[in-house]
Amino acid sequence: MSHEIRTPINAVLGMNEMILRECKDEQLLSYAANIQSSGKTLLFLINDILDLSKIESGKMEIIPVEYELFDLLLDLWNVIYMRANEKNLKINFLIDETLPKTLYGDDVRVKQIVTNLLTNAVKYTPEGEVELKVNYQKDQDNTILLIISVKDTGIGIKQEDMGRLFEDFRRLDEGKNRKIEGTGLGMNITLSLLKLMGGDINVESEYQKGSVFTVKIPQKVVNNEPCGSFEKARNMQRQGKLGSQESFEAPQANILVVDDNAMNLTVFKSLLKRTKVNVVTASSGKECLELVKKSPYHIIFMDHMMPEMDGIETLHEIKKLTDFPNDGVPIIVLTANALSGARESYLAEGFTDFLTKPIDGDKLEKMIVYYLPKEIVHKKENDDSQTEESSSNKSEYDKYSEYGISIEQGLSYSKGNLDVYLDLIDMFLNDDNQQDKLEKFIFEENMNDYGIQVHALKGNARTLGANELADIAFEHEKQSKAGNIDYVDQHWGELVEKWNTAREGFEQFCIDNGRIEADESETVDMDREIFEISPEDFEAAASLIDDFETEKALEMLNQWLKNNLRQDERKRIKSAVMALEKEFDEEKAIEILRGN
């Protein structure tokens, strides 16, 4: 039934996505946007109902495995932090540092139970805080009772409603909570899963003041070594160092990555640099098709949202090919769609697997190791040379929050590598044409291409930690997909303001880290003679690139940058250098130099 129910819903959502992409009728696009929102909500509800159905039919299985407790807790933090942040709620995790490091149990179901409790706490807490507390009691020699409590300062539960808390499809205090989405099955499923695992739950609540939900779950101990500080583990995760698998090298491996976003391609290659994997890139579905016909690859990673031919369309075209060197090669979709049911939807289209963006370096490496032939993967010792980020650095990073930037988050997507992160910021700062492109699409009322471009902006901003910019870009993406030209036009200035603020913050970060000289981001030094560059000089540099004399052109451009230049010319030259050195895009450099 799971497959039979999800398949038509995924088909509806998939076809509706095509309407959002291809239809030009504003009224129809408005209807389609509502279908998309309601369809995703329906998918969430059906997942709950399917779980209840499994439980009632006795088909729900508890599958115990060895798992690292901190990995589970860090996943819970990542899930709940963003939801709480949207409501300005404080989140606090109090974790006993003596907890055993490795346990044996069904970590998926433990996570589902605690996620239900945390999600409810956030849903029903209009202001204040949500606290997760984890400790344990020794039960037998190799067994503990894992004790997890979730405390909130929310609306609480009336005493007369306590007995109905675990009923099917029940939402308490319906009059006040009618706007809160959900099936009312979360607590029922939680109780059923606890019974299956031999655990129990206790609830304490005071109406209008808050609640405390405490679960006790027996788990076997595999490694009794203490977990240590959760806060330290969370800091290490932000640097991309926690849970890193054993390093590997695979110099014989050939991987094709398809994405129209140059920054995404750079991130991908940077994350795999230490593995010595040969990464070939393509910036469109058409280019991908040409490459897969010529050379064999061990894995293909395919972005979903691309102009002209998207990832799904490209996949279907690959499936039609015969007698080519990549028949049966794993094709993995890269997507920002992490909603429940998304993985099943992509697998139904024919993808081998699913990887969410922004890309997590450790998950990427694990996936590559899984799909590469074992004989070409060589394990090696982890490189622990990278030192832990100092508290002084962390406090220094706090000042960038005024620009809407989380430096720690941006660094985590670069696996804590400052040089890689600064390279990505360079790309972001030197893409001067993107605002002009978007403004042109608004003028032309071309919401299809606007949506694709602003989707790329959202992804780049999120990768760099510019969350405020990413959030507003996401809203523009949704509205443009619905064909809401009025919203896009009216809120364009707001997007540009956030964009320019983020750029200002990143420029300051580059100055602070020696990547940009301070006077590069300021006005020209009027006390020094301005170095003049004529249109003929720019044409000479462009002609060198056109004649495959790229090194000579770079030498000329870098020599110009040593002089006192007008700000617009400095930015133009730096953009051309970036296109050549970081993006390997000679055509783009030529266009910049010729002012096209």
**Cβ atoms < 10 Å from Cβ of 432:** 14
Calculate the alpha carbon distances from 222 to 111, 400, 516 in Å.
Answer: 18, 42, 50
The answer to whether residue 24 scores a pLDDT higher than 80 is no
**Rounded to whole angstroms, how far apart are CA atoms 82 and 86?**
6
* 203 and 211 Cβ atoms separated by less than 8 Å: yes
- Tokens linked to 297: 């690859």
pLDDT of residue 232: 80
The pTM score is 0.48
Q: Which of 505, 502, 499 is nearest to 476 (CA)?
A: 499
Cα→Cα distances 197→72, 193, 212, 467, Å: 17, 6, 21, 39
Question: 586 with 576: CB under 8 angstroms?
Answer: no
Q: Which of 52-61, 96-105, 176-185 has the highest mean pLDDT?
A: 96-105
Residue 135 CB: number of other CB atoms within 10 A?
16
d(Cα 379, Cα 294) in Å, to the nearest integer?
30
Q: Is the pLDDT of residue 13 over 60?
A: yes
- Where is average pLDDT lowest: 7-11, 130-134, 159-163, 582-586? 7-11
Band of pLDDT at residue 255, cut at 50, 70 and 90: very high
What is the three-class DSSP state of 548? coil
Does residue 593 have a pLDDT over 70? Answer: yes
pLDDT band at 521 (very low <50, low <70, confident <90, very high): very low
Strand-strand pairing, 254-258 and 210-226: unpaired
Query: For 447, what's the count of Cα atoms within 13 Å in the CB-facing half-sphere?
Result: 24
CA-nearest of 544, 535, 545, 546 to 572 is: 535
Confidence class for position 296, pLDDT limits 50, 70, 90: very high
Nearest Cα to 351, choosing from 376, 320, 330?
330
The answer to whether 244 touches 379, Cβ cutoff 8 Å, is no
Range of lowest pLDDT (8-17, 254-263, 518-527): 518-527
**The pLDDT value given to residue 386:** 44
Residue 280's pLDDT band, with cuts at 50, 70 and 90, is very high
Percent of the chain with pLDDT over 70: 79
Query: Which pLDDT score, from 0 to 100, does residue 389 have?
Result: 43
Q: Which residue has the tokens 């800091």?
A: 235
* Higher local confidence (pLDDT), 558 or 525: 558
Burial grade of 318 (CB within 10 A; 0-12, 13-18, 19 or more): buried
Among 113-117, 211-215, 374-378, 575-579, name the one with the lowest average pLDDT. Answer: 575-579
Q: What are the pLDDT digits (tens) for 326-382?
A: 988 999 998 866 554 566 778 888 999 888 777 777 778 888 988 999 889 887 655
Question: How distant is the alpha carbon of residue 42 from its chain centre?
Answer: 23
What stretches of 64-173 adopt beta strand conformation (E)? Answer: 65-68, 90-95, 100-105, 129-140, 143-152
Inter-residue contact 145 to 218 (CB < 8 Å)? yes
Helix, strand, or coil here: 169?
coil
Residues 429, 230 contacting (CB under 8 angstroms): no
Average predicted confidence (pLDDT) for the chain: 79
Q: Which of 48, 54, 42, 45 lies closest to 9 in space, CA to CA?
A: 42
**Are the C-beta atoms of 265 and 296 separated by less than 8 Å?**
no
**Listed residue (250, 252, 341, 358) closest to 303, CA to CA:** 358
The most confident of 212-221, 259-268, 478-487, by mean pLDDT: 212-221
H or E segment to which residue 216 belongs:
strand 210-226
Q: How confident is the model at residue 186 (pLDDT cuts 50, 70, 90)?
A: low
* Residue-wise pLDDT tens digits, 145-185: 999 999 999 888 888 777 666 654 444 444 444 444 444 46
Q: For the segment 396-454, what is each residue's pLDDT rounded down to a tens digit? A: 777 888 888 888 888 877 777 788 888 888 888 877 678 888 888 988 888 888 888 88
Distance, C-alpha 309 to centroid of its chain? 23
Q: Which of 19-28, 237-246, 321-330 has the lowest mean pLDDT?
A: 237-246
In the predicted model, is pLDDT for residue 99 greater than 90?
yes
DSSP label at 530?
P
The angle, 0 to 180 degrees and rounded to 10, between the axes of the packed helices 107-123 and 69-86 is 20
Q: Convert 242-273 to b/e letters by CB count within 10 Å (16 or more is b).
A: bbbeeebebeebbbbbbbbbbbbbbbbbbbbe
Share of the chain above pLDDT 90, in %: 15
Contact 95, 73 (CB under 8 A): yes
In this prediction, residues 480-497 reach a mean pLDDT of 86
Distance CA 145, CA 216 (A): 6
Q: Which residues pair with 355 in a beta bridge?
A: 334
Pairwise CA distance, residues 129 & 220, whole Å: 32
Nearest 10 degrees: Cα torsion 404, 407, 408, 409: 60
